[in-house]
Amino acid sequence: MTGESLHLESVAGLVRGLAERRFSSEAVTRHFLDRIARLDARLNSIVTVTAETALDQAREADGRIARGQPRPLEGVPLLHKDIFCTQGVRTACGSRMLDNFVSPYDATVVSRLRAAGAVMLGKANMDEFAMGSSNETSFYGPVRNPWDTERVPGGSSGGSAAAVAARLTPAATGTDTGGSIRQPAALCGITGLKPTYGRVSRWGMIAFASSLDQAGPMAVSAEDCAHLLRAMAGFDERDSTSMNRPVPDYVAALEAPVDGLRVGLPREWFGEGLDAGVAEVVESAVAVLRELGAEVREVSLPHVGLSVPAYYVVAPAEASSNLARYDGVRFGYRCKDPRDLHDLYVRSRSEGFGAEVKRRILIGTYALSAGYYDAYYRKAQQIRRLIREDFLRAFETVDVLAGPTSPTPAFRIGERTRDPVSMYLSDVNTIAANLAGLPALSMPAGFTAGLPVGLQLVGRDFDEGRLLGVAHRFQQATDWHRRVPPGFE
Amino acid sequence: MQWEPVIGLEIHAQLSTRSKIFSGAPTAYGAEPNTQASLIDLGFPGVLPVLNEAAVRLAVRFGLAIGATVARRSIFARKNYFYPDLPKGYQISQYEAPVVVGGSLTIHPEGGESRRIGITRAHLEEDAGKSLHEDFQGMTGIDLNRAGTPLLEIVSEPEMHSAREAVAYMRALHVLVRYLRICDGNMQEGSFRCDANVSVRPKGEAAFGTRTEIKNLNSFRFVERAIQYEIERQIDVLEGGGTVVQETRLYDPDRDETRPMRTKEEANDYRYFPDPDLLPLVVPEAMVEAERQALPELPEARKARFVEDYGLKPADAMQLAFDRDTADYYEAVARVCGDARLAANWVNVELAAALNREGLDVACSPVSAERLGGLLARIADGTISGKIAKQVFEKMWTEGTEADVIIEREGLRQITDTGALEALVEEVIAANPKQVEQYRAGKGKLLGFFVGQVMKATQGKANPAQVNQLLKKRLDE
């Protein structure tokens, strides 16, 4: 591989090439920094480029490789979603509120990837506080979809998805509260995995909805996601909700055969609102799984239709509390010349937060209010249990569930901003996995009208290895994930 | 009309853990502002709480000591409100499912009947920081050292009917938490503070009157006076045809009155919900068992034993038993000297006075229990008198030596030789013929004068009982 096409290398390919010293991490890192400098103006996918530290880390990696002490991701560059705290680097979470916030510590995801030898290129743009499905709520402006820059990349991990799709980075981290990894992965034509709740530590990941938030990898292929997840996952004593169970070798598990795999198609994901082009792509992707030896059958998740309303109670409720700490007192945005305490609060929060964040704080505050708690929050938690039971029942007869990640391909920038509910419905198929805590992946399944379509796979608790394995087999039989957006070759 | 006050107390006891309830930062009091606060205590973006097991253990201990149910599963909840000294904008507390449920406490109101007061619940929560209003010229300083300090909030049933009972309850709880070593009880530093809910109702009526809550009472005296004031105020309002407003009030000790707290938030809605960052607290059976095994003899039981086994008066027994260090000290003294009542008297009077004079805790007494026991053994076996013993005690206190060393060095052994004492008695009688005449004429009180003369001649070393006996015998001849 020549220097000009280093960006077409997979994570796995980079690991091998670096180990064999076919190229240096410094050269790889420079190549991506150069692409970012040249091409990101079209996308606005990256809010902070940490070129100097990236090059320092790359040279350190080259030293380790030269001494024969490479770590699993030694010298591989990547981007972090700007929701992860990075020591000494601005961590703004897409918000004016944190525009001036330089984190004094690293998130566990960041320190684990760093400990595995990865090089940080910078921080990816995102919807403000991860609240959005189009990356239009960012204080740093919308991210554009590299397949059509008039269209959204999805959200909230839109910057990560667009940057990976445009090959500005080999991989990126993302977070997923209601689909924020999978939906942008689908809309940008890349692979993204939301692990089981508790698989990856939330320490240092700025909280949106704590019981739903989960960090995961975003990359071109399932194999690359496996490389990242292996480094990211694991128990963390600083996160009480992280699970203390061993991390399997996701890379080694990729080769498991698909033969005899039982795939369920929840009929609720194939009904009203599904774009015909998307349906067609998903059908042919399912056909590929069949050809690979999978048994496909229809299943039902009877309560899954309640996902969106339940989610829009639970997530804003938790968010309304999680975002109370942004009060202008200790860090972050503070209004000019507050008259008194009340004025300090009101103006700092009114000026520091954007409209979507404020909308969700209001919804959440309302849902938790005395007299409404039982009708909303408690009811939503009950629905959550019903949805999880639906999945567990389905998993008695099938091993994974498959369906369209998003009912439509990427929509136009501005198309849904005035109608929040239409925006929220963009996550109608992804939210249930968060409510149930289950692992779910989106992978490129084909194109409709020139836009990528994602196939979502949902698995049992801690069955990330199987999801990655199925996706890997699929990707060995297809090349959708290798397609590069025109202009970014 | 006869009014009956109804009082319930919420007491916040700071748990004596080394680190905070959800972070590893130290809980030490009095450090420079904001030096004991970690990123977690400061509520930084992305941080998460991890429960301190030690705080749970102390809560379990308390639950066992009051005969409560220790919940196998309890839930941490967020209490949401904005205040600058509340970094996250919510306090992590327990709401629907507290760790300790039920239980009771025996109280001894001054001049009243002892009785049991029910405890509704006790739950774990974190403390907030402090707002500093001085020294910042129109601004408010925030010190977050205290933020995240573990608290046990202990809620009583509304079962007290006078300020005196309320104080007695608070005292009993104060005794207990220190006994259990779960709280240092330091009220000046805010380790033990009280909110009082007060209402009044016509005597004999079952329904409660409208209550007010008096916040942040941090001394027994203030609790008593604030409640007393509030009871009288409410009765005045009702008798004047008015109605009591449900509100939060503050006690002003300078004016000895309660006043409504000025606050912008009218009806506070705390929007409690289970904290998604913390799993339900499941108390392991092994922890409960270990705490049960390690539970010390409790103050009430110890007091009863002191009365029963040592023949002490209930008041003396209470004074000794209600402080664990004092009780331990006392029992060691009694064991060494072999005279439990003598030991009780000395610990409660002489030792207490000396400690008080120097402002020391019994645990820091310069005279150890073993040495005090050694001294009292010399009274018990007649080597020295009680009066001489006080001199010896003073020397032991300052020099840190054993009683026997001082007695020998100073020649303080009691004179018990009958021959020597008879000679002294003769001398005194010979030197005071006038008094002898008066005594014999019926002025019996003069016996004390003669005893005094003999004691004076021996610098107090004569055995007083013996001198008494000899004088009486000689004068009554």
DSSP A79-104: EEETTB-BTTBB--TT-GGGTT-B-S
Of B45, B140, B273, the CB nearest to A85: B45
Residue in A321, A366, A374 to test binding to B, most B beta-carbons within 10 Å: A321
Chain B CB contacts of A377 under 8 Å are 273
Considering only CB atoms, A365 lies closest to which of B42, B44, B271, namely B271
The whole-angstrom separation of Cα A222 and Cα A182 is 13
- Across the interface, whether the CB atoms of A204 and B47 are under 8 A apart is answered yes
| CA A46 to chain CA mean position, Å | 15
* Of A154, A96, A95, nearest in space to A413 by CA: A154
Give the three-class secondary structure for B3.
Answer: strand
- Count Cβ atoms below 10 Å from residue A393 Cβ, excluding itself: 13
Inter-chain touch A203–B142, beta carbons under 8 Å: no
| A84/chain B closest Cα distance in angstroms | 8
- Token couple for B287: 């922890």
Q: Which two tokens stand for residue A459?
A: 């698995």
Question: How many angstroms separate the CA atoms of B174 and B176, rounded?
Answer: 5
Residue A19 pLDDT exceeds 70: yes
Query: Residues of chain B whose C-beta is under 8 A from some C-beta in A?
Result: 39, 42-51, 78, 80, 82, 84, 87-90, 140, 142, 264, 269, 271-273, 276-279
Put simply, the answer to whether A330 touches B276 (Cβ < 8 Å) is no
The answer to whether the CB atoms of A324 and B278 lie below 8 A apart is: no
Q: Is A352 left (phi over 0), alpha (psi -120 to 50) or beta?
A: alpha
Min distance A359 CA to chain B CA atoms (Å): 17
Collect all residues with Cβ–Cβ distance below 8 Å to A71 and sequence separation of at least 6. Answer: A64, A115, A116, A117
Contact B80 A341 (CB under 8 A): no
Burial label, B269 (beta-carbon count in 10 A; 0-12, 13-18, 19+): middle
DSSP assignment of A383-438: HHHHHHHHHHHHTTT-SEEEEESSSSSPPBTTSSTT-HHHHHGGGTTTHHHHHHT-
Query: What residues of chain A lie within 8 A of the CB of B140, using their CB?
Result: 341
Residues with Cβ within 8 Å of residue A222, at least 6 apart in sequence: A191, A193, A254, A441, A443, A467, A468, A469, A471, A472, A474, A475
Which class is B418-475 in CATH?
mainly alpha
Report if residue A207 sits inside a domain: yes
**pLDDT score at B267:** 59
Mean pLDDT of chain A: 96
Placement of tokens 């400061």 in the chain: B42
Q: Which is higher by pLDDT, A227 or B436?
A: A227
Buried b (16+ CB within 10 A) or exposed e, B271-299: bbbbbbbbeebebeeeebeebeeeeeebb
Instruction: Tell me whether residues B273 and A205 touch, CB distance under 8 A.
Output: no
| Contact (CB<8Å) B39/A104 | yes
Q: Which of A51-60, A225-234, B413-422 has the lowest mean pLDDT?
A: B413-422
Residue B133 is predicted with a pLDDT of 81
Residue among A237, A329, A377 minimizing CB distance to B84? A329
Query: Do residue B46 and residue A204 have CB atoms under 8 angstroms apart?
Result: yes
Domain residue limits at A92 = 3-259
For residues A30, A32, A33 and A35, what is the CA-based torsion angle, rounded to 10 degrees? Answer: 120
Name the strands in the sheet holding A262-266, side by side, starting at the edge strand that comes first in the sequence.
Answer: A46-49, A119-124, A77-81, A171-176, A214-219, A191-194, A440-448, A451-458, A400-404, A262-266, A295-299
Contact (CB<8Å) A240/B42: no
State the best of B21, B48, B56 to mutate against chain A, taking most chain A CBs within 10 Å.
B48
Put simply, the answer to whether A342 touches B264 (Cβ < 8 Å) is yes
DSSP per residue, A434-487: HHHT--EEEEEEEEETTEEEEEEEE-STT-HHHHHHHHHHHHHH--GGG---TT
Q: Which residues are bridge partners to A85 per DSSP?
A: none
For residue A305, the distance in angstroms to the closest alpha carbon of chain B comes to 24
Structural domain count of chain A? 1
Kindly determine whether residue A240 and residue B87, on different chains, have CB atoms separated by under 8 Å: no
Tokens of A272: 């009203």
Q: Least CB-CB distance to B273: which of A341, A345, A377?
A: A377
Angle at A91 between CA A90 and CA A92, to 5 degrees: 105
CA atoms of B196 and B248, how far apart (whole Å): 10
Helix axes B433-440, B464-475, angle to 10 degrees: 70
Mean pLDDT score, A184-212: 98
**Spatial separation of the C-alpha atoms in residues A197 and A210, rounded to whole Å:** 10
Helix/strand/coil percent split, chain B, to 5: 40, 20, 40
At residue A315, what are phi and psi to the nearest 5 degrees?
A: -65, -50
Determine the pLDDT at residue A2.
Answer: 57
Q: Which residues pair with B200 in a beta bridge?
A: B5
Q: Do A210 and B276 touch (CB under 8 A)?
A: yes
The C-alpha atoms of residue B268 and residue B266 are separated, in whole angstroms, by 6
pTM of the predicted protein model: 0.92
Of B46, B90, B142, the CB nearest to A107: B46
Q: Best mutation site among B93, B269, B273, B279 for testing chain A: the one with the most A CBs within 10 Å?
A: B273
Kindly determine whether residue A206 and residue B45, on different chains, have CB atoms separated by under 8 Å.
yes
Q: How far apart are CA B230 and CA B239, in angstroms?
A: 14
Q: Residue A425: is its pLDDT beyond 90?
A: no
Name A124's bridge partners. A46, A81
In 10 A of CB B47, how many CB atoms? 24
Can you give the pLDDT at residue B264? 44
Could you tell me which chain B residue has the CA closest to the CA of A109? B46
Which of B19, B38, B44 would best serve as a mutation to test chain A binding (most A beta carbons within 10 A)?
A: B44
Q: Between A84, A324, A377, which is nearest B90 by CB?
A: A324
Smallest CA-to-CA distance from A161 within A15, A12, A43, A274 is with A43
Contacts A–B by Cβ distance under 8 A: 102
> What are the pLDDT tens digits along chain B (477 aa)?
899 999 999 999 999 999 999 999 999 888 999 999 999 999 999 999 999 999 999 999 999 999 999 999 999 999 999 999 999 999 999 999 999 999 999 999 988 889 999 999 999 999 999 988 877 777 889 999 999 999 999 999 999 999 999 999 999 999 999 999 999 999 999 999 999 999 999 999 999 999 999 998 989 999 999 999 999 999 999 999 999 999 999 999 999 999 998 654 455 799 999 999 999 999 999 999 999 999 999 999 999 999 999 999 999 999 999 999 999 999 999 999 999 999 999 999 999 999 999 999 999 999 999 999 999 999 998 888 888 899 999 999 999 899 999 998 888 888 878 888 888 888 888 888 898 888 888 888 888 898 888 888 888 888 888 888 888 888 887
Per-residue pLDDT tens digits for A234-276 = 999 999 999 999 999 999 999 888 889 999 999 999 988 899 9
Alpha carbon of B90: minimum distance to chain A alpha carbons (Å): 7
Instruction: Write out the two tokens for B474.
Output: 């000689």
Residue A47 falls within a domain, yes or no? yes
Q: How far apart are CA A315 and CA A306, in angstroms?
A: 14
Give the CATH number for residue A62.
Answer: 3.90.1300.10
**Which residue(s) pair with B31 in the sheet?**
none
Asked if A103 is an interface residue toward chain B (Cβ–Cβ < 8 A), one would say yes
Check whether A145 has a pLDDT greater than 50. yes
pLDDT at A318 over 80: yes
Q: What is the pLDDT of residue A422?
A: 84
Q: What is the 3-state secondary structure (H, E, C) of B426-477?
A: HHHHHHCHHHHHHHHCCCHHHHHHHHHHHHHHCCCCECHHHHHHHHHHHHCC
A197 interfaces chain B, CB cutoff of 8 Å = no
The Cα A215–Cα A459 span in angstroms is 16
Whether the pLDDT of residue A134 is over 70: the answer is: yes
Interface test with A, best of B93, B277, B279, B281 (most A CBs within 10 A): B277
User: What pLDDT is recorded for position A400?
Assistant: 98
Q: How far apart are CA A10 and CA A78, in angstroms?
A: 12
Helices A307-322 and A379-394, axial angle in degrees (round to 10)? 130
In a domain, A298, yes or no: no
The dihedrals phi and psi of A451, each to the nearest 5 degrees, come to: -115, 140
Indicate which residues of A carry an active-site annotation.
Answer: 81, 156, 180
Tell me which residue in B49, B89, B264 faces A325 most closely, judged by beta carbons: B89
Q: What is the pLDDT of residue B263?
A: 57
CA angle A482, A484, A489 (to 5 degrees): 125
Contacts of A239 in chain B (CB under 8 A): 48, 50
Cα separation, B353 vs A95, in Å, equals: 65
